[in-house]
Amino acid sequence: MRTFVLLLSLFAIAASLDTIPHHARGGRAWRERQGGLTAAPAEAKYFKQVNDHFDASLDTFMQKYFVVDTYFKGDGYPVLLYINGEGPVSGPPSGYLLDVAKELGALVVTMEHRFYGSSIPNNDFSVENLRLLTVEQALADLNYFATFIRSNVEGAANSKFLCVGGSYSGALSSWFREMYPDTVVGAWSSSGVVNAIFDFVQFDEQVAAAAGEECADDIRNITHKIDYMLSTADGNKKVKTLFGARVDVADADFMYMIADSSAMAIQYGHKLDLCSSLKAARESGECIVKNFANYTADLWGAEFGGGCFYDTECLKTDRTMARSWRWQKCSQLAYLQAAPFVKPLRSRIVDLPAQIRQCEEAFAPGVFPDTALFNLRYGGAHPRTTNVVYVDASDDPWQQASVKEAQGKNEVSIEAMTGHVLHMPFITTFTHSYMYNCHAPSHNNRRLCMTVPTPLQPAMND
């Protein structure tokens, strides 16, 4: 009997290229993430996708997709569907998924999410048209895409689909398995944010816990000093200029960017160099705010502080992923990262009212995420599905919006000792109809193995 070993997550710099958010890909973090990954040439293709899957109209838009058939062995072999999330797609998946495909003889396919990159229904970012940007439409897109692949790729008609995703797309992976179980037989949800939390103070609290007391106090010190600088006209202008932001950007928007810089450093595997840099500045008497500004520009790029992602005025007219993702948060998913009441890392002006105000100013009065209804539909932290592996990390603040424990015999929840979608090696072995998941954290080499029934591979003899 042939046993297939799938490497579904890699450690640190060997991780998938899609881990760093698109608005933060101008610096060292992104450059370090690109080295040493297996790549496969594939040209961008487009197919006609339905604008609105829940309307009788058959209006369509052109949706980008990629197919890697290098290792595909044809009839009966699986299809690995890599789900993309909140960003443009410039090529097929690289790295670990291609190693998996080689072991399985699998086809690899991926599709750009609607309203990102060049896959824009009606080429329109107006509020009226953005109402076509929902989780429900995205899941229906995936289902339609799977049908398209089965009909248009030779040998894929009888193939079973396994979907893989991380962060928001990790949540989509879980929800896709839940809503379309006849289309996809199993799902891998890495840091999958399945729980739509409205007042997400747990995010800041988890960043503080992961940073440790000394580093968390250094981050709080930066926040306090910048808050003070913002309180005077001269200081306000100077500190925003120091970080490359517009001098008239809203203070709450600016402080959201400041909070994200340190939080992202921790969640994407740069905790040690962040904390070391802050400690060295404190002990040497260097200006800690200037040190942090330099660190932010180095790690995330010089444009990070002045980009559109946090800027309400810019978001009003933006035609990129920044407006699309903010719409998804404001209209449905929330994850509004407000400052907690006790010992926050982020400024207290980054509160819930400020983020609700940003939603209404960027879009329209009354745009508001009904997270209670959303979680009722999809199960929140307790998804009502089977054959899904949920993987989270001990340093990752997004784990608070994920699955914390296995939901049943056909679901697995694993915690790794790394950051957001950057997990230690997880080895998944498919032997006929069973999937074994093993995890060996590097700190103590403890091994965890679970079994999930997932028929993916035809029986074969050695």
d(CA 178, CA 189): 12
376 in the same domain as 285: no
Question: Domain containing 31: what range?
Answer: 22-196+372-429
The domain boundary, picked from 310, 333, 363, lies at 363
85 in the same domain as 62: yes
The pLDDT assigned to 430 comes to: 31
Q: Would 2 be classed as within a structural domain?
A: no
User: Can you tell me the mean pLDDT for 161-166?
Assistant: 94
The pLDDT assigned to 378 comes to: 96
The pLDDT assigned to 393 comes to: 83
Q: What angle do CA 306, 308, 311 make, to 5 degrees?
A: 85
The mean-pLDDT minimum among 150-164, 245-259, 336-350, 389-403 falls in: 389-403
d(CA 263, CA 345): 9
Q: Which 3 state secondary structure label does DSSP give 305?
A: coil
Number of H helices, E strands in the chain: 15, 12
d(CA 22, CA 30): 9
- In 3-68, alpha helices (H): 28-33
- Compute the chain's Rg from CA coordinates: 22
Percent of the chain with pLDDT over 70: 82
Element (H, E) at 269: none
Between residues 324 and 56, which one has the greater pLDDT? 324
The pLDDT assigned to 408 comes to: 64
User: Can you tell me the mean pLDDT for 277-293?
Assistant: 96
Question: Is the pLDDT confidence value at 348 over 80?
Answer: yes
In terms of C-beta density within 10 A (0-12 exposed, 13-18 middle, 19 or more buried), how is residue 445 classed? Answer: exposed
The domain boundary, picked from 363, 395, 414, lies at 363
The pLDDT assigned to 36 comes to: 57
Whole-Å CA distances, 190 to 228, 391, 415: 39, 5, 10
222 in the same domain as 185: no
Q: Would 443 be classed as within a structural domain?
A: no
d(CA 215, CA 266): 11
Percent of the chain with pLDDT over 90: 74
User: Can you tell me the mean pLDDT for 169-182?
Assistant: 96
User: Can you tell me the mean pLDDT for 99-128?
Assistant: 95
Q: Would 185 be classed as within a structural domain?
A: yes
305 in the same domain as 383: no
* Domain count within the chain: 2
The pLDDT assigned to 382 comes to: 93
The domain boundary, picked from 314, 345, 363, lies at 363
What is the per-residue pLDDT across 370-404, written as a single tens digit (0 to 9) for each?
Answer: 999 999 999 999 999 999 999 888 888 999 999 98
Question: Is the pLDDT confidence value at 293 over 50?
Answer: yes
296 in the same domain as 254: yes
- Phi, then psi, of 108 in degrees rounded to 5: -115, 130
227 in the same domain as 347: yes
What is the per-residue pLDDT across 25-42, written as a single tens digit (0 to 9) for each?
Answer: 999 999 988 765 566 678
d(CA 152, CA 316): 39
35 in the same domain as 162: yes
d(CA 391, CA 393): 7
- Phi, then psi, of 248 in degrees rounded to 5: -105, 15
CATH number at residue 398: 3.40.50.1820
164 in the same domain as 132: yes
User: Can you tell me the mean pLDDT for 159-170?
Assistant: 94
The pLDDT assigned to 422 comes to: 44
d(CA 101, CA 139): 23
Q: Would 214 be classed as within a structural domain?
A: yes
Question: Is the pLDDT confidence value at 10 over 70?
Answer: no
Nearest residue to 358 (alpha-carbon basis) of 262, 255, 258, 260: 255
Torsion angle, CA of 70/75/80/81, rounded to 10 degrees? 110
Who's near 34: CB < 8 A, 6+ residues apart? 17
The gap from C-alpha 111 to its chain's centroid, in whole angstroms, comes to 15
Q: Would 266 be classed as within a structural domain?
A: yes
404 in the same domain as 265: no
d(CA 42, CA 58): 29
What is the per-residue pLDDT across 401-436, written as a single tens digit (0 to 9) for each?
Answer: 999 876 665 555 555 545 554 442 333 333 222 233
Contact 300, 293 (CB under 8 A): no
Q: Would 12 be classed as within a structural domain?
A: no
- In 318-399, alpha helices (H): 321-328, 352-362, 371-378
User: Can you tell me the mean pLDDT for 268-289?
Assistant: 96
192 in the same domain as 86: yes
The pLDDT assigned to 439 comes to: 32
Using the Cα atoms of residue 274, residue 278, residue 279 and residue 284 in order, give the sign of their dihedral: positive
Who's near 182: CB < 8 A, 6+ residues apart? none
Question: Is the pLDDT confidence value at 441 over 80?
Answer: no
What confidence tier does 453 reach under pLDDT thresholds 50, 70, 90?
Answer: very low
92 token code pair: 């097929």
The mean-pLDDT minimum among 78-92, 120-134, 314-328, 424-438 falls in: 424-438
121 in the same domain as 36: yes
Q: Would 218 be classed as within a structural domain?
A: yes
What is the per-residue pLDDT across 203-239, written as a single tens digit (0 to 9) for each?
Answer: 999 999 999 999 999 999 999 999 999 999 999 999 9
Question: Is the pLDDT confidence value at 454 over 70?
Answer: no
Q: Would 453 be classed as within a structural domain?
A: no
d(CA 263, CA 80): 31
235 in the same domain as 187: no
SS (H, E, C) 195-219: CCCCECHHHHHHHHHHHCHHHHHHH
User: Can you tell me the mean pLDDT for 50-79?
Assistant: 93
